[in-house]
Amino acid sequence: MQQKQLEAAGTLNLSAWRDGPFWRGKGGQRSEAIDPTHRHLAMITGGTIDIWDLERYDRIARWQTGNNTELVSLDFSNNGDHLAIGGRRIIYSDQQAFISEFTEEGVLFLVDLTGEPPQLEGPLSVPGKVASVLFSPDDHYLATGGCGAMGKLHCTRGFVALRDMRTGMMLGEPMPSHARSVTSLAFSADGELLVSAPKEGRLLRNSVDLLLRDLRPQTWIKLACEKTNRPLSAKEAARFFGDPESEDACSAAE
């Protein structure tokens, strides 16, 4: 007999796992995540996405994103309303040939969990193969990291990109990143700093191979003013950087 328990700490205990509804068996690497509100459990296996309702102990959605798709990273928004999933897709030049040249592209999917059934959006445009996804603490931004360029044997240029969840738009060009695929992302508690780390990061003089990015609007407003060599209008500042109190956004950023 199956037993289940969702503890206050947010851990899901399952007995008879192999015979239970969560058992997958074959099908590639599997990753799971429980949303912070304890309402949903998400699973990715190969190119398959499953969403479970933890109150009803029932699967409420399943999507097959393609046999040539490998999903590797997922993250729930902090309010539990959205789920981001990233990975890669292999495109063969000749589907019929036994041996065929191929290319790889990144994929990013967003799941809207505010309605029933949940809605899947994507794949969305990304600058490369996605290895990590992470929502900011206020859920305003979605950070993606991965590989932007491949050599013969390994990734030669990583990337970090930001998407504004309020507008659905990418925030500028991908940020300069590591010489390897970005596999780890972390926001500061206030959401103003983003740190990234590559695969096979090195430890040099007691410091890890990390990149720290300042996400404070004032920093980016000041940079925009320097690039355009003119003050930003209040409308421009509100559109791209929020709603600054001062009408002279450049002066406010100094």
175 and 53 share one domain = yes
9 and 123 share one domain = yes
Q: What is the DSSP code string of 142-175?
A: EEEEEEEEE-SSSEEEEEEEEEETTTTEE-SSPB
163 and 224 share one domain = no
**CATH number for position 49:** 2.130.10.10
Predicted local distance difference test score (pLDDT) of residue 101: 66
179 and 137 share one domain = yes
94 and 220 share one domain = no
186 and 232 share one domain = no
Lateral strand order in the sheet of 193-198: 182-187, 193-198, 211-214
**Structural domain span for residue 131:** 4-215
188 and 230 share one domain = no
Predicted local distance difference test score (pLDDT) of residue 153: 74
pLDDT by position in tens, the chain (length 254):
233 444 333 344 444 333 344 444 444 567 899 999 999 999 999 999 999 999 888 899 999 998 889 999 999 999 999 999 999 998 766 655 555 566 788 999 999 999 989 999 989 989 899 999 999 999 999 999 999 888 777 888 888 898 989 888 887 777 766 788 888 898 888 888 888 888 765 533 333 455 556 666 667 677 777 777 777 777 776 666 655 444 455 665 45
Sequence-distant contacts of 170-175: CB under 8 A, at least 24 apart: 170/125, 171/141, 174/127, 174/128, 174/148, 175/213
Total domain count, the chain: 2
178 and 236 share one domain = no
77 and 178 share one domain = yes
Helix count and strand count (H, E) for the chain: 3, 19
111 and 208 share one domain = yes
139 and 193 share one domain = yes
67 and 175 share one domain = yes
Predicted local distance difference test score (pLDDT) of residue 73: 94
Q: How far apart are alpha carbons 33 and 134 in whole angstroms?
A: 12
For 75, the enclosing helix (H) or strand (E) is strand 69-76
